[in-house]
Structures are given as C-alpha cells and as structure tokens.
Amino acid sequence: MGVEICVEGLTKSFGHQVIWQDVSLTLPAGEVSVMLGPSGTGKSVFLKTLVGLLKPDCGSVKIAGRDITRLREHELYEVRKLFGVLFQDGALFGSMNLYDNIAFPLREHTRKSESEIRRIVLEKMDMVGLIGSEGKLPGEISGGMRKRAGLARALVLDPEIILFDEPDSGLDPVRVAYLNQLIVDLNAQIDATFLIVTHDIASARQVPDNIGLLFRRELVMFGPREELLTSDEPVVRQFLNGRMQGPIGMAEEKDATQVEQELAALGDGDTTQTPGSRALTPRLLPGPGITRPPRWEAIARHEAELRHRKAVADA
C-alpha cells in the first residue's frame, strides 16, 4: 500500500533564480498523480526534492509522518527505500544485460540469495512484459523496452512510492499508449503512490487520479483530474489544449494585456472551438483479470455524474 506525501510551503531556488515557491499539495496514498507544466518550470527539480536529492530553501516534505527536509543522511537513506524511480532514459547500465540491471538494487541493498533474487527479478519482468529478454543488453532493445526494464528495476524493492520522470519521452504514440496501460495496471496491482512528470496531454487526461500544473514559479492548481480537465483557469486550458493563445509564451510569460487580447479573440475565452477540449476524457481501466482498487468505483460514479450534468447543461 502506498503512503501519503504532504508538501507544505516548498520553495527552491538556484542562486538568485527561483524555480518555484510556496508549493503545497498532498499526494494521496495509493493514487496516481500527474505533474504538468511548460518546459523549464522545475518539474524534475520537484521530483528530486521529494526524494531528498535536492534540499529546498524552505518548506516541508512529510512522508509517512517524517519531514525529509530535516532528516540526517542515514535517516534519509532509510526513507528513500520507500521510493522507486523511473528516469527518462531508464538509466540502465549499458554493459549489463537486462536481468543483471534489474537485479542490481537487490544485490546492492539486500542480502537475499541468488535464488530469491531470481524469483523477484523474473516476477517483475513478467509484470512489465519482458520475460524472455533477460540476456539482452540495453543497446539491443527498443526505447520502450528500456523504459519497461527501468520500471522493473524500480519495482524490485517493492516501493510504496514510484516517481516517473517523463516516462513517455522518446516514445512514439503507440508505445506511450502501452506504457500508460502498464502504469494503470501496475497501480491496480501494487497500489503504490505514483507521481508522473509528463508533457503528454493524452496521458494526463487518461491515467491519473490527480493533476497538478506548475507555471510562473508557482503551483497553479492541484486536485482531482476532473477539476483540472473542466477548469476555467486560462493557463490550464491553454496547456491542456496545446494552443498559442494564453499566458504561456515561447520563451517567457506574456504580459496580462496580450493574454486578454488573445483570449478575447477566441470569443469570450471559450475553448469549445477545440473539439472535446473540455470533455471529461474516459479514464483508462486496468486490463482483463486485474482487479480495480476500491476507490476507482467511487471515482467512476463521480465522473459519470459530472458527464451527466454537462450533458444536461448542454441540452
């Protein structure tokens, strides 16, 4: 079962450059959350701060009731055992085959026998669909397979929190769809707390329970996916619709006057010109034979009610 992460007043800067400030949110235990934001808004920095690789200027990160920003190194080491991390490129050792890559954390951090390690490694490889590829080197397989191997390695210590740093980067849309389904299936199976940093809007619409958006050095919104997908916040609507009109510019933020003019040109700021722009995209469900966590039934009922209300309002 996953654990809750409670972030309060978190601020991080490098020198005089503020990355983000006064970020507060709670990642619910066992749920899938997605963090969105334009490039350069510090999403990866946020992940590294959660796992204690970077120290914030102020604020707290409480995991299982412990504020990791105040822990000594040996205490932090123990808390990090709760985490599994999937890096952008999988971060595999090029000279090791997939089996040894995935076994590495077990050999490094436990005293398990090789027979026990083999059982765990093959179990995790089976979960991500890599059985039969144990002897292959990272350079001999596709990007999608490397991501899955990195995910299997992140799973071997049975983490209660899994962080995904742009898992869809470098993958074609078909492989992204397979990876999204794998993430949903894994969450249903192990019920860990997932946080995904991504730019992929289709993934953000289909996969998570919760969505957050970082922009202008702040957390603009964080909450249940249906709240953000139906939000009237201009930057949220611009980002989810992938359009030029709105607060986000190419190199830097636009001034308020320019934003107002652009939104007015769209027609009172409504995004209905974009097909399905404010529709509540159906959530991905676990595959056949995988039992849904109990919370999904309540979420499904709530989202069905929202769709009904929208249909009545549009009639």
3-state secondary structure 77-119: HHHHCCEEEECCCCCCCCCCCHHHHHHHHHHHHCCCCHHHHHH
Q: Tell me what the mean pLDDT of segment 149-161 comes to.
A: 94
Q: Supply the pLDDT for residue 56.
A: 95
Q: Mean of the per-residue pLDDT values for the chain?
A: 86
- For residues 256 and 49, the model is more confident at 49
pLDDT above 50: residue 267? yes
Q: Tell me what the mean pLDDT of segment 49-62 comes to.
A: 94
Domain residue ranges of the chain, discontinuous segments joined by +: 5-82+159-230, 232-277
What residue has token string 């074609």?
Answer: 172
The alpha carbons of the chain give a radius of gyration, in whole angstroms, of 21
Q: Supply the pLDDT for residue 270.
A: 47
> Of 168, 24, 14, which Cα lies nearest the Cα of 87?
168
Q: Supply the pLDDT for residue 90.
A: 67
Share of the chain above pLDDT 90, in %: 56
Q: Supply the pLDDT for residue 126.
A: 94
Q: Supply the pLDDT for residue 50.
A: 94
Q: Supply the pLDDT for residue 243.
A: 83
Q: What are phi and psi of 241, to 5 degrees?
A: -95, -5
Q: Supply the pLDDT for residue 273.
A: 40
> Of 48, 53, 54, 52, which Cα lies nearest the Cα of 35?
48
Please write the tens of the pLDDT for every residue from 282-297: 888 888 888 776 776 6
Residue 200 one-letter amino acid: D
Q: Tell me what the mean pLDDT of segment 240-254 comes to.
A: 74
Evaluate whether 179 touches 171 at the Cβ level (below 8 Å): yes
Residues listed for the chain: 315
Strands 193-197 and 32-36: parallel
pLDDT above 90: residue 17? yes
- For residues 150 and 264, the model is more confident at 150
What CA–CA distance (Å, rounded) separates 69 from 55? 7
pTM confidence score: 0.85
Of 51-65, 84-98, 274-288, the one with minimum mean pLDDT is: 274-288
Dig out the tokens for 139 from the structure.
């350079």
Residue 235 one-letter amino acid: V
Class of domain 5-82+159-230: alpha beta
pLDDT above 60: residue 255? no
Residue 280 one-letter amino acid: L
